[in-house]
Structure 1
């Protein structure tokens, strides 16, 4: 079993909790209150900007061309997610430039950026892979039953192109990381922070009404 597959299997409990989370099931069946989804969009846009910066640090710290190009491709992929959020923001009158991050968002972005700045490249991959793999997992699991106003969100993460990006990052993890305690902690911590992000969104932290 590859390291990425082993780490993913080791966090199956958190992946299952995310799939069953009321925020996620509310996206799938369209019952999630719009103000909670709007708040999530605003917080996730802030998060994705930090995610892009972490990829940029990966580009800067790459020691070979293959790694540099892989991180550059992944950085470009973030633009697609940001365009999704920009679309919701434009339709719902959300000003993403004035978003105040809530505690769960700050905890995740600070963890990512600290790891990207101070950890080795393998640890950076371990910290970033859970976001990509979890969202691909959620999109693929939800797409057969997704209905309502959030179907675009599900389709974005169920898209084969997003799966390809997740696999690219997992391949980097397998090539650049060893199964050290630091790598395992970084992966597990990122999965925990993903679940905390959904918890905050479900509680309505950072909710915005839009127009």
Structure 2
């Protein structure tokens, strides 16, 4: 089993917690209040901008051309996610310019950016892989047929192209990281922050 696969398996409890969270189940069955989803879209757009910056730091820290190109490709994937959020914002009047980040959002973005700047390629990959892998997992686990207004969200993350982004990031993790406590800690911390992000979106605080 690769390191990325081992880390995902080791954090299956948090993946299950995310999938069972009322925010995610509400997306999956289309019953999530639109106001709750709108708040999530604004927070996630703020988060994704920091996620993109962390990829950019990865580009700057890349030890070789292949790693640089990989981070650049992953950065392009974030731009596609931001386009999804912009579409929701345009349809539902969500202001993505003046977003006030919730504490859970700031906790996650601060973790990612500090890890990217200070942790090098190894910990950067460990901290960023869980987000992409988890969303690919959620997309495949939910059904667009029952998601109603949120069908586009489900299909985006269920798309094979998004799965390829997750696989690409996992390959980067396997290439640059070793199975050491710091890597396991960074991966699990990111998974915990993902669950916290859904909880904050659900409660609006």
Q: Quote how far apart the aligned CAs of 1:146 are.
A: 3.3
User: Following the alignment from structure 2 to structure 1, what is the Cα–Cα distance between the partners of residues 172 and 204?
Assistant: 35
TM-score, with length taken from structure 1: 0.96
Query: Is residue 177–residue 183 contact of structure 1 (8 Å, CA) maintained in 2?
Result: yes
Determine which structure has greater relative contact order: mean sequence separation of CA pairs < 8 Å that are 6+ residues apart, divided by chain length.
1
Q: How many residues align?
A: 205
The Cα RMSD (Å) is 0.8
Residue matched to 1:191 = 191
- Deviation per CA, 1:103-155, whole angstroms, max 9, x where unpaired? 00000000000000000211100000000000000000103653310000000
Residue matched to 2:60 = 60
Residue matched to 1:140 = 140
Residue matched to 2:181 = 181
Query: Is residue 146–residue 154 contact of structure 1 (8 Å, CA) maintained in 2?
Result: no
User: Following the alignment from structure 2 to structure 1, what is the Cα–Cα distance between the partners of residues 30 and 58?
Assistant: 37
Matches within 5 A, 1:30-41: 30-41=30-41
Q: Quote how far apart the aligned CAs of 1:36 are.
A: 0.3
Please state whether the residue corresponding to 1:98 is helix, strand or coil. Answer: coil
Residue matched to 1:201 = 201
Residue matched to 1:75 = 75
Residue matched to 2:157 = 157
TM-score, with length taken from structure 2: 0.98
Is 1:28 paired with 2:28?
yes
User: Following the alignment from structure 2 to structure 1, what is the Cα–Cα distance between the partners of residues 113 and 188?
Assistant: 16
Q: Quote how far apart the aligned CAs of 1:95 are.
A: 1.4
- Deviation per CA, 1:60-109, whole angstroms, max 9, x where unpaired? 00011110000000001101100000001011111111000000000000
Unaligned runs of 5+ in 1: 206-211
Query: Is residue 89–residue 95 contact of structure 2 (8 Å, CA) maintained in 1?
Result: yes
Matches within 5 A, 1:92-171: 92-143=92-143, 146-171=146-171
Give 4+ residue runs of structure 1 displaced > 4 Å after superposition. Answer: none
Please state whether the residue corresponding to 1:97 is helix, strand or coil. Answer: coil
Query: Is residue 144–residue 154 contact of structure 2 (8 Å, CA) maintained in 1?
Result: no
User: Following the alignment from structure 1 to structure 2, what is the Cα–Cα distance between the partners of residues 109 and 172?
Assistant: 21
Query: Is residue 129–residue 169 contact of structure 1 (8 Å, CA) maintained in 2?
Result: yes
